[in-house]
Amino acid sequence: MSEPSWQDLGPAEAFRSAALQQVTIGRLRLAVSFRDGEFGAVHGACSHAGGPLGEGTLEGDYVVCPWHHWKYHRLTGLGEPGYEDDAVPRYPVRVVEGRLEVDIANGTKRSRKPHDPHPLARRVERAPGPPRVLGISTTNMEAGYPRYSTSEALLEHALGFAAASLGAEQRMLRLRDLEFRACEGFYSKSAHACTWPCSITQMDPDDQLDRVYEAVVHWADVVLVATPIRWGNASALYYRMIERFNCIQNQVTIANRVLIKNKVAAFIITGGQDNVQAVAGHLLGFFGEIGFHFPQFPYVAHSRGWTAEDMENNVRFVRESAELREGAEQLAARAVDEALLLLDHQDAAHRFSRGGRKAHHMAADPTPVPAAPPGTPPPR
């Protein structure tokens, strides 16, 4: 035990009025609690990703982190039952002449149970092989009663063409087949509360957006996104997916870590009413922001116009349109060509780099993945 260093926090009465408060002494953050007539003080930074524990809530004697809900005993600092090894320091407290004091020299040790990193947290490295084309269909429909989707049909055609005529590997993901939660706004708590992999992905093993992350970040060279037009916008499932992509973009902002490199996106947009360009504008803006490149003429689209309500004819038109199928083929070809150019460029940069010059900007993901990245909460 060290020589005590008692610090005055203020009138004890002020700490009796709130169950939990965050206070700072110099650079030390503390979560000070009061319950059943007893004060407690634990470190104010969560062992997971540094969430402000004093801004969380008290559940019985456990302080609940406001970011991803890890829990620590307010008097011992130990993690909740089963996770005692995930502990934050706790500090002695006392009341002297009506003032609350904390001994900051005698905090216990912080500990963190080793957690296996989430598989998605691995370094992004392109495995050798032919170009890889991922199709994402954002169309919704009842699984037991499927209908014809014009955008999905063109996407299937483009993927078939990429495999048969471009020598590409192809993979299709239909968002309607996946169970995944909507973004819950971790970013709105703090940029650092939004983690890669996504906080929801790490906490909820039943959430299936990990399949999309895996394919988009680790597998694909080309991502073809197909969407219907819904009230002048892309589909609701599309927006549900890209809200969850915030964690990809946020890595650039908070960690200077670019997860999407040398990848190409292109789009298929169909609908009964107009607004193709508004939908395309959004798709281009979003995918550009997270780091994708685009081929020349990066989308194929079809709509019937504002006054056309004859959807049967619309479907028949797309179904029978050789021009649209050819457009989807050319889109896939342009996207794969662009991806190959980028990959060649990357290889050339690596060769150049081996020759003694640096080419940081072309490396796939130069950020080393820490052995135990901060975002690895076990499901709780």
Query: Min. distance of Cβ 201 from ligand FES in angstroms?
Result: 13
DSSP 173-235: EEGGGS--PPP--HHHH-GGGS-SS-HHHHH-TT-TTHHHHIIIIII-SEEEEEEE-BTTB--
Partnered with residue 87 across adjacent β-strands are 111
Contact in structure between 53 and 63 (CB atoms under 8 Å): yes
Angle between helix axes 150-165 and 322-354 (nearest 10 degrees) is: 50
* SS3 (DSSP) at 293: strand
Strand 132-137 versus strand 222-228 pairing type: parallel
Q: How far apart are CA 222 and CA 215, in angstroms?
A: 10
Query: Min. distance of Cβ 72 from ligand FES in angstroms?
Result: 9
Query: Min. distance of Cβ 190 from ligand FES in angstroms?
Result: 9
Query: Min. distance of Cβ 208 from ligand FES in angstroms?
Result: 22
Judged by CB, which is closer to ligand FES: 272, or 377?
A: 377
Q: Is 222 in the site for ligand FES (CB under 6 A)?
A: no
Partnered with residue 349 across adjacent β-strands are none
Judged by CB, which is closer to ligand FES: 82, or 129?
A: 82
Judged by CB, which is closer to ligand FES: 15, or 186?
A: 186
Find the binder of ligand FES among 65, 136, 276, 283 (CB under 6 A). 65
Partnered with residue 88 across adjacent β-strands are none
Judged by CB, which is closer to ligand FES: 49, or 223?
A: 49
Query: Min. distance of Cβ 195 from ligand FES in angstroms?
Result: 8
Find the binder of ligand FES among 44, 51, 135, 373 (CB under 6 A). 51
User: Largest alpha-carbon pair distance within the chain?
Assistant: 87
Find the binder of ligand FES among 43, 48, 73, 325 (CB under 6 A). 48
Q: How far apart are CA 250 and CA 221, in angstroms?
A: 21
Judged by CB, which is closer to ligand FES: 46, or 168?
A: 46
Judged by CB, which is closer to ligand FES: 52, or 131?
A: 52
Judged by CB, which is closer to ligand FES: 72, or 267?
A: 72
Q: How far is CA 139 from CA 9, 268, 287, in A?
A: 57, 11, 18
Question: Which residues fall within 8 angstroms of residue 281, CB to CB, at 6 or more apart?
Answer: none
Q: Is 131 in the site for ligand FES (CB under 6 A)?
A: no
Site residue total, ligand FES (CB under 6 A): 11
Q: How far apart are CA 161 and CA 328, in angstroms?
A: 9
Query: Min. distance of Cβ 199 from ligand FES in angstroms?
Result: 7
Q: How far apart are CA 38 and CA 277, in angstroms?
A: 63
Q: How far apart are CA 377 and CA 65, in angstroms?
A: 12
Find the binder of ligand FES among 34, 39, 70, 287 (CB under 6 A). 70
Residues 358-377 that bind ligand FES (CB under 6 A): 377
189: amino acid identity, one letter: K
* SS3 (DSSP) at 311: helix
Q: Is 62 in the site for ligand FES (CB under 6 A)?
A: no
Residue 64 burial by Cβ neighbours in a 10 Å radius (0-12, 13-18, 19+): buried
Stretch that binds ligand FES, among 47-55, 99-107, 157-165, 315-323 (CB under 6 A): 47-55
Q: Is 67 in the site for ligand FES (CB under 6 A)?
A: yes
Stretch that binds ligand FES, among 23-31, 41-49, 172-180, 341-349 (CB under 6 A): 41-49
Find the binder of ligand FES among 31, 49, 168, 276 (CB under 6 A). 49
Judged by CB, which is closer to ligand FES: 48, or 334?
A: 48
Query: Min. distance of Cβ 67 from ligand FES in angstroms?
Result: 4
Positions in the binding site for ligand FES (CB under 6 A): 46, 48-51, 65, 67-70, 377
